[in-house]
Structure 1
Amino acid sequence: MGGNASTDWAIVRPQKTIAAALKIARGLNWKGEDSDIDSLLAFLHELPAHELSAPLIGKSAFNRHKKGLDYCPVIDGELITAPVSELRTKRCASKDRPPLEVIIGATEFEALLFAALGRRQSDIVSLRKYLQIHIPEEIPNFDEKRGRCERLYLDGINIKNSSQVSTAFLRLHSDVMINNSVQRYCKGMLPSETSISNETKIFLYNMTHFNSNEFGFVGLRMPFYAATHCHDLRYLVGKGLYSKFRPNIDDKQVMLIIGTLFTNFVKYGNPNSHWRKLEESETSKERKNGYINKEIDNSCCEPWNPSGIPGDENSKFVEANKIHTNYDENDNNLTSNNFWLPITPNNTYQHFELCLEPKMLPRYQDGRYEFWFNEVDAFNNSLINTNPAVSS
């Protein structure tokens, strides 16, 4: 939620972090040598927090002039011994790997929040600058790939319409910031080997629900409203990141949906609601709509059914929180559009849309990552793998 270790800002080269720290220290009159890292750290540790802080507005952390962040974990050869992609490959090859069950996902427009916090740059110039940064000249045929990528995001867009261009730019920004990393994780943790896929369950989501009245002062700087960074956390924990969260009726329903899905996942390793099997009872004291709880079968799940009728006396199966299923006792049509299915090695794009009526959809973020996966990521991974580990 909100990012993962496969983002291009989660782990950086040690030299980048050192250079950024040196710049701050020099601005605060540190007189040591650039090579004296111990002295640099001691100087920074002694500074009060306000000397190193930055304002919320005007400093979005992400901008069009550089890739990634300055201060992140580094591949130091000790704590993080290799690039994340390499570590995941080793895990998949290990015979002692434990089973893995994961929920991963993001929101519809992750970058929208950062566009509001930073300088206004949701325009065609920013889009092309982003392409220059994320499709660097080192990549073979970079110019042709930049053109193809621009067409991918501007297809059907009137470039003279600032609103349409803003939407296109923020899709690009959201992809390079978080969405692409979600797919990198899915593809990296679920390779094609059957033995891996049988013991690895990855449930992918995309959150689209939002309340336009809940953005606070940050919303005044947004070009449009949509589910953005940390919205999924807001509906899971009931707290706002950048504005007070006052959920309306629809918000509370989404909170119930997400809370149920995640709670089921924590309990059972499966987000779908588990039903209790019922059996007829002879005594009225034990009866509940003609049936009593016989047992819980954790291998059988029902979907979240938004059209279900609580208290339906004709239901053969009653879920613990009184949300009923339309399926018969033979489990016909168990895998419907309302059932959250895990991804597969051959389809890492099928996902669950988190909204008032959640459902399975086939193409996560319209499948745009296919371009990045085939044309950019392979080369970028080779660059990362050639950077030596550096220890301080």
Structure 2
Amino acid sequence: MKFATKAIHAGQSPDPTTGAIMTPIFQTSTYTQAAPGKHKGYEYSRGTNPTRTALEDCIAALENGKFGLAFSSGMAATETALKLLKPGDEVITGNDLYGGSYRIFTKLFEPYGIKFHFIDFSNPETIREYLNEKTRMIWVETPTNPTLQIVDILAVSKIAKENNVLLAVDNTFASPYLQNPLDLGADIVMHSVTKYISGHSDVVMGALVVNDEELYKQLFFYYNACGGTPGPQDCFLALRGIKTLHVRMKAHCENGRQVAEYLRSHPKIEKVYWPGFPDHNNHDIAKTQMRDFGGMISIVFKDTSIENTFRIASSFKVFSLAESLGGVESLINHPATMTHGSIPKEVREKVGVVDNLIRLSVGIEDIEDLLEDLKQALA
């Protein structure tokens, strides 16, 4: 089954009672049993819900995985994956990382005795310098947030397997349409479903996808025991959003390319981060492991003053200044004060997240309107 067909049909079938073609919203907390222990696969909605099951099966199919789990947020999904660790374990992760991931790593899990190494993943061989008998997981983000760095998933997975280390990949920026980490050797794929998968800025949700049944059972135990699960209404909305994922991603990529090319030639811009440029770091890897280059772009202004950056960020008429990304509408974000505000200034600036950088999530509006908006805001 091809991607577009899976997006519309995977995990879903007409309701056997009514014939409804859309998965019903099973707005129930519990389920009757014929006798104690004799149920139809559903006992209590913290653990399982039919609407959520359809979503989980659909997302798993899009990632070419066997098992999916949906969570109340991307951070709930991330936290559940990290529950596989124990005090004394070590994790190797990137130095250009989403601020929420950095925060949960350093503020929540480091105090429990888990050590994180934040390294440059541009050359995967660097990982070997940090591997030891305590290494339990490698956590990769690719493309990274916000400088769109590309990590060679296949090369990292080979190193992980050689050393019996789990590889988890945050695939949020690419979406399953552009990249499938399980096919490249990852053990766990994480998504903020809030972003491209749902795609309409009306849902907060996360997901994990795996192929190994034992790993799935471990994750499901934490998922059920700790209860970071989404309600059926949000699952229904995410399922509805997925049905147009392939169509939306094509538009994001087309608009993203034209916006990136326009910005690169603009006299007020010092640097444009976009994986589609031949001189972007690891562009050749992006061409190999991604199907296109996406709609995420970051730019650095020549004027280094934060006042200039704030003025421009507040001058858009079509783009909206807001957190998040991946929705049908175009968004502008200032990472230093918004998504990456929890990262110390000296840490984020080392990897290029400077005060005069803004991140664009290019939506699917008419490209002429987007380019005109950029022109007037940068004037």
TM-score (norm 1): 0.23
Larger Rg: 1
